[in-house]
């Protein structure tokens, strides 16, 4: 992420909106299941890198990390400990109209 941003980010013109970098993560970064510590920690790392990128770039770049919630997937079926979210509701928050 940082190599891309530092090499390809032009200065933002006065009055213009800065570019937006959106990182898609998983709920595993927030609520680690009872297994998969390597997976959960790697997802937490991507969130932390995005936070540092936001701090380093300041007003020249808007940085967001989003996750779809706890939706039904093979991995969430194995965990079996968290209540699933309604994917239709979660997608509604990610769509800009």
Residue 61: which region, alpha, beta or left (left: phi > 0; alpha: psi -120 to 50)?
beta
Quote the pTM value.
0.63
Closest C-alpha to 90, from 79, 76, 46, 51: 76
CATH 3.40.50.1100 at 2-94, yes or no: no
Give pLDDT tens digits for 10-55: 666 777 888 888 888 777 776 656 667 787 788 888 888 889 989 9
Instruction: Judge contact between 23 and 46, C-beta under 8 A.
Output: yes
Handedness of CA 87, 88, 92, 95 (dihedral sign): positive
């Amino acid at each position: 992420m940082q190599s891309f941003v530092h090499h390809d980010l032009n200065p933002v013109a006065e009055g213009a909106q800065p570019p937006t970098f959106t990182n898609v993560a998983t709920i595993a970064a927030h609520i680690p299941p009872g297994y998969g510590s390597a997976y959960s920690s790697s997802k937490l790392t991507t969130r932390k890198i995005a936070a540092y990128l936001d701090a380093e770039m300041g007003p020249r770049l808007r940085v967001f990390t989003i996750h779809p919630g706890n939706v039904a997937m093979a991995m969430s079926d194995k965990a079996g400990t968290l209540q699933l979210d309604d994917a239709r509701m979660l997608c509604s928050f990610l769509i800009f109209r």
